[in-house]
Amino acid sequence: MTKATVLLAALILAIPVQAAQLYRWVDDKGRVEWRDTPPPTTAKKVEKRTIGGSVIETSTMPYSQQQAVKNFPVTLYAGNCGDGCDKARAHLVSRGIPFTPKDPQHDIEGYRKLTDGGMQVPLLFVGRERLTGYETSAWNRALDSAGYARQPLPGYTAPKPPAAPVPAKPPAATTAPLVPGEAETPPAAPAP
């Protein structure tokens, strides 16, 4: 390779992809012209347009990971159950697994139906496969067989844990407040 070829290749690679200017106008004979150069002064109905680079946006995930997410979505049911739930979340994050975190306390009846009446957490679904409790080797086998990567992929951000439920307001008092100086007595029963 000659120095000129190497220099030309380096120059081409160093030029950033920029938006191009495109001009549209009608010439003096009524023909529509499209050019990347400015129109002559005799042009009519001049339009200037900016054309972006020819970049195709793609997913940041490799195809195999996209297929795993599509065919075997991961859902983790965990709350504030202590060490087991913390290790379960950390395991998925350390492998870079995109997962949907859910707290069973938000829908206890739905969770019981999902688990045939049980309330044990953490609970992991990899597609339709259900894994109750946290066991590293069993979770790795399920994730590996679904096609998930062993390490986080570039650009991975872990999902945020679900927000804590908003506590319900206590019911408003239905009895009249006591007037200072009155004795606190239960209301009289209605006469028969």
Say whether pLDDT at 6 is over 70.
no
For the segment 163-183, the average pLDDT, to the nearest whole number, is 48
Average pLDDT over residues 9-26: 63
Which helix (H) or strand (E) segment is 128 a member of? none
In 10 A of CB 105, how many CB atoms? 15
Residue 125 CB coordination number (10 Å): 19
Note whether 46 and 35 are within 8 A (CB).
no
The average confidence (pLDDT) of the chain is 75
Q: Which residue has the higher pLDDT, 127 or 45?
A: 127
Choice among 3-7, 107-111, 156-160 with the minimum mean pLDDT = 3-7
Q: Which residue has the higher pLDDT, 93 or 115?
A: 93
Whether the Cβ atoms of residue 22 and residue 36 lie closer than 8 Å to each other? yes
Mean pLDDT of 16-40: 80
**pLDDT at position 30, please?**
87
Q: Which residue(s) pair with 100 in the sheet?
A: 75
User: Is the Cβ–Cβ distance between 72 and 141 less than 8 Å?
Assistant: no
pTM value is 0.53
Choice between 28 and 143, residue whose per-residue pLDDT is larger: 143
